[in-house]
Amino acid sequence: MIETKKVDFFYGDFQALKNISMRMDKNTVTAFIGPSGCGKSTFLRLFNRMNDLIPDIHLKGECLIDGQDIYARGVEVDELRKKVGMVFQKPNPFPKSIFENVAYGLRVNGMRDKNFIEQRVEESLQSAALWGEVKDKLRKSAFELSGGQQQRLCIARALAISPSIVLMDEPASALDPISTAKIEELIHDLKKHYTIVIVTHNMQQAARVSDKTGFFMLGELIEFSDTKKMFINPEKEQTQNYITGRFG
């Protein structure tokens, strides 16, 4: 379970997030929508502390995973990132073989058991709906795969270290419609085993894949509710205007 309580977030003097409280339940898909620059990707990156890599940032409030404040003193960020996987907007495979892309996180975390690594690579590729397409070319370069296959490889890489949460920042925005459909189908299957949080500019995609949706604007969470309800009967006029294309 993920929960935030009265979160404010600053880049220097600029306040990117304002007083955001939200709860995301286990084994659900939560989508964040809103116009560019509204804070949704910044909010997503709080959960694996990716924003820590940016100088002069500041957070107020609480950001909890399974009841633990992940910004408290003593939290091991590397351990947190094992629990919270991340998939980025553009496929970013390493310049390695398909096999080594998936095995990379296991090796970095000290795993040396060859049989275990092989098993986890196969399981992760199966979970990412890619095993059938690559099982006979595991030693070939990841760059030989199509864009959609590369993105599923990146998902497999994130799954290999057995996270409980998977963050996806516009995972299909660089893909063609067929690859996008495969990613969406995959998200639906993965939520049986993982808690998934996705940022998307594509409102139809949010409607198709998510259980709950948060609508952001100018750093504020305008509305957060069941996806079906938000798209059929939103509570706020701003949400209605965005969903119907009057702005954004």
pLDDT value at position 23?
96
Which amino acid belongs to residue 47? F
SS3 7: strand
Q: Is the model's pLDDT at 138 over the cut of 90?
A: yes
**Rounded-to-integer distance, Cα 132 and Cα 83, Å:** 27
Query: Do 210 and 31 contact (CB within 8 A), yes or no?
Result: yes
Tokens 């100018």 belong to residue: 218
Segments making up each domain of the chain, as ranges: 2-243
| pLDDT-derived band at 48, boundaries 50, 70, 90 | very high
Would you tell me the crossing angle of helices 114-127 and 147-159 to the nearest 10 degrees? Answer: 130
Q: Is the model's pLDDT at 248 over the cut of 60?
A: no
The mean pLDDT of 77-87, rounded to a whole number, is 93
The CATH H-level (homologous superfamily) assignment of domain 2-243 is P-loop containing nucleotide triphosphate hydrolases (3.40.50.300)
The residues pairing with 189 across neighbouring beta strands, listed in sequence order, are none
**Rounded-to-integer distance, Cα 98 and Cα 125, Å:** 10
Query: Do 18 and 217 contact (CB within 8 A), yes or no?
Result: no
The residues pairing with 31 across neighbouring beta strands, listed in sequence order, are 198, 213
The DSSP output letter for 35 is S
User: Which distant-in-sequence residues (6+ apart) come within 8 Å of 175 by Cβ?
Assistant: 147, 148, 151, 183
Candidates 88, 83, 105; CA nearest to 165 is 83
The mean pLDDT of 111-129, rounded to a whole number, is 94
Q: Quote the Cα angle for 18-20-23, to 5°.
A: 170
Strands 2-11 and 212-217: unpaired
Q: 210-239 pLDDT, tens per residue?
A: 999 999 999 999 999 999 999 999 999 999
pLDDT value at position 247?
66
pLDDT value at position 209?
95
Q: Is the model's pLDDT at 241 over the cut of 70?
A: yes
pLDDT value at position 6?
97
Write down the pTM of the prediction: 0.92
Question: Which pair of tokens denotes residue 1?
Answer: 């379970």
pLDDT value at position 190?
93
Q: 17-34 pLDDT, tens per residue?
A: 999 999 999 999 999 999
Question: Which pair of tokens denotes residue 238?
Answer: 């701003």
| DSSP alpha helix (H) spans, the chain | 40-46, 77-83, 98-108, 114-127, 131-134, 147-159, 177-190, 203-209, 227-232, 237-243
What are the C-alpha distances in Å from 169 to residues 33, 61, 66, 110, 133?
11, 23, 22, 28, 24
- Percent of the chain scoring above 70 in pLDDT: 99
